[in-house]
Amino acid sequence: MQERVIIASRWKTLATLPLALVAAGLGWWALMQHAGLALSLTGWVAIFCGAAAIPVLLLQVIRPPRLRLRPDVMIFDTGLNQKVVPWSDIEGFYLWRMSAAKFPALRYKAGRMPADRMTRVMHDRAGVDQTIAAPWPMAPEAMVNVLNQARRELCGEPAYH
């Protein structure tokens, strides 16, 4: 198998941009109400979250996240950082659910989980080794199938359930 690149959808990313603008706008509205500390704090949090999301979303519209499936490694490139995972470290991919949302996720083989703090926190608190969250051009279920098929082709290992 040659390198395969899956690029996140610019349109799905662009569709979330109005939500960031609405959050910042509602935060501004909350501050203008002069209705007490709780509403003011909520307003500042909404402004901060909305304003922080705008440049990240614009960057991801210009350069969408990519998942590179190479013969030896899988590279999750968000545009802000890269996560490189050797196929030999991956036990399999599965669908991880958080409330109503679904994300492709991977499970590391025993003893192969990276020592970084975020991976450990996600594993201990949320029960997931690594999510592969981005506005992918296919449904999360289809993404899991594509990733498991690529893993089987590259590693010659059985399917993960």
> In the chain, what are the domain boundaries?
9-62, 66-155
Banded pLDDT at 152 (limits 50, 70, 90): confident
What's the fold here for domain 66-155?
Answer: PH-domain like (2.30.29)
Q: What is the pLDDT of residues 34-51, one digit of tens each?
A: 888 888 899 999 999 999
Distance CA 69, CA 74 (A): 5
Higher pLDDT, residue 152 or 122 = 152
Task: Compute the half-sphere exposure of residue 37: CA atoms within 13 Å on the CB side of its CA.
Answer: 0
Q: What is the pLDDT of residues 73-90, one digit of tens each?
A: 999 998 888 989 999 888
Q: Which residue has the tokens 């614009």?
A: 58
Query: At residue 124, what is the residue type?
Result: D
pTM for the whole thing? 0.75
DSSP string, 17-64: HHHHHHHHHHHHHHHHT---HHHHHHHHHHHHHHHHHHHHHHHHHHS-
Q: Would you state the pLDDT for residue 80?
A: 81
